[in-house]
Amino acid sequence: MHFEIQGQGHPVVLIAGLGGLGAFWAPVVEQLSRSYQCITFDHPGMGRSPPAAEHSIANIAAEVLALLDELKLPSAHFVGHSTGGLVAQVLALDHPRRVDRTVLSATWARPDRRFRDLFQTRRVVLERAGFAAYNAIAKLLGHPADWYEAHLASPAPIDFDAASQGDLATALARIDMLLTFDRADELGRIGAPALIVGASDDAIVPVSHSRDLARLMPQARLIEMQGGHFLPQTQTLPYVKEVKAFLAGPV
């Protein structure tokens, strides 16, 4: 996989969401790398990483382990956002000795009916209307209205006929991997200290999923913020403050 390292200190692997790009973490890394060695990467088959043999949460986790081995790191902290939170769950469940502490933000234990309906709807939009409409929906649902207006809104209408910016088969396979993942019944045996971060205004993965994770992981601590689904970008400083406090906290 393509990866980047910035900063020095205890290693922290940051795992992006469905888009799969390490660049998602840029504003977080700018702050967090002052205290930690931050490792970001493009998921297999995404961005600058080679094509993936398969698109699955287990495969991403296996590639993360291979990256740790390549860097000769026996263990690390993990910060997984949205889809990345599923990868962090797999690592904490199946490879506990490699996981020091884990942060799970805007993620879930298992897809409920609303989650399935939302992502199946997004799947249909992608197939029938293309990437421009699909990406527009993600931005509209994923950001608070005022942040969208200030940072993403354009005076020009969305060009829904813009050239495709992605591989359809890959995007559909990545949606499917979310709908088939469910290891909720195992979460109670995760021993690594865990911080769960949910956003009360998240319209993609409602905060009820974070509360469900906290219920299933009795040793985890839950905090609730605002900032929409993409709170590491919309609320970078408060987000990093909570992450740093947790990573540096008592055992």
pLDDT at residue number 251: 59
- Residue 201, in any domain of the structure: yes
Do 105 and 224 fall within a single domain? yes
Look at residue 219 in the predicted model and tell me its pLDDT. 86
Sheet of strand 11-15, all strands in order from the earlier edge strand to the far edge: 3-6, 37-41, 11-15, 76-81, 99-105, 194-199, 221-225
Overall number of domains in the chain: 2
The CA-based angle 236-25-57, given to 5 degrees, is 125
Question: Are residue 118 and residue 215 in the same domain, yes or no?
Answer: no
| CATH code: domain of residue 189 | 3.40.50.1820
Using DSSP bridges, classify how beta strands 99-105 and 37-41 pair: parallel, antiparallel or unpaired.
unpaired
Phi, psi of 112, deg, nearest 5: -90, -175
91 and 192 share one domain: yes
Same domain, 14 and 81: yes
* 123 found inside a domain: yes
What is the span of the domain harbouring residue 165?
114-170
Residue 127 confidence (pLDDT): 94
Average pLDDT across each block of 10 residues of the chain; the chain has 251 residues. List them in order. Answer: 96 97 98 97 96 94 98 98 98 97 97 97 95 94 96 90 83 96 96 96 98 94 98 98 93 59
pLDDT at 218: 84
Same domain, 64 and 77: yes
Q: Are residues 36 and 104 in the same domain?
A: yes
Q: Are residues 235 and 217 in the same domain?
A: yes
Q: In 10 A of CB 37, how many CB atoms?
A: 19
| Residue 11 domain-assigned (yes or no) | yes
Is residue 94 a part of any domain in this protein? yes
The answer to the question of residue 175 being in a domain is: no
Q: Do both 126 and 59 map to the same domain?
A: no
φ/ψ of residue 167, rounded to 5:
-95, 120
Kindly state whether residues 84 and 52 are assigned to the same domain: yes
Do both 21 and 99 map to the same domain?
yes
Do 163 and 198 lie in a common domain?
A: no
